[in-house]
Amino acid sequence: MLLFIALKDVMQRRVPNWTLLVLSTVVVIATPFSLYQAAISLMILLLGIAAFHFRWLGAGDSKLLAICAYGSAEQWPWFILQTAIVGGGLSVVILLYNHLANLGLIKQNPTATVPYAVAISGSALTAIHYI
């Protein structure tokens, strides 16, 4: 499911809500309940809503980040750090791509967004142990 979400974000620059619903159902069923993890996930979701307001992160990316943080249990700080590092690298690649497109070395148009679900999904694969 994480691979499908990442590919969908790369191709269409959106994360469908139905995929997030399926993923959250799997994560909630497979992960032992923890009030602490639920609070952390809620805090990440609220920060994601603020990031969406400032156009720093997409709404689907915010929800995906909260779901994966809940599923990563006690590994959530490592998951967030790894997502930030991978996302930063992905942003540099997109900046380079846009620079080459503006110079005319690449025939495609520059892109305005970063498919951040790729960084989130990739990091989740190393942090979620229950799935």
Q: What is the pLDDT of residue 107?
A: 86
Q: What is the pLDDT of residue 131?
A: 54
Rounded CA separation 131/128 (Å) = 6
Residue 130 confidence (pLDDT) above 80: no
30: amino acid identity, one letter: A
From the number of C-beta atoms within 10 Å of its C-beta (0-12, 13-18, 19+), residue 14 rates as middle
104: amino acid identity, one letter: G
Q: What is the pLDDT of residue 126?
A: 87
The rounded mean pLDDT for the chain is 92
Q: What is the pLDDT of residue 83?
A: 95
pLDDT tens, position by position, 50-80:
999 999 999 999 999 999 999 998 889 999 9
**At residue 64, what are phi and psi to the nearest 5 degrees?**
-65, -40
What is the full DSSP assignment across 45-80?
Answer: HHHHHHHHHTTSS-HHHHHHHHHHHHHTGGGHHHHH
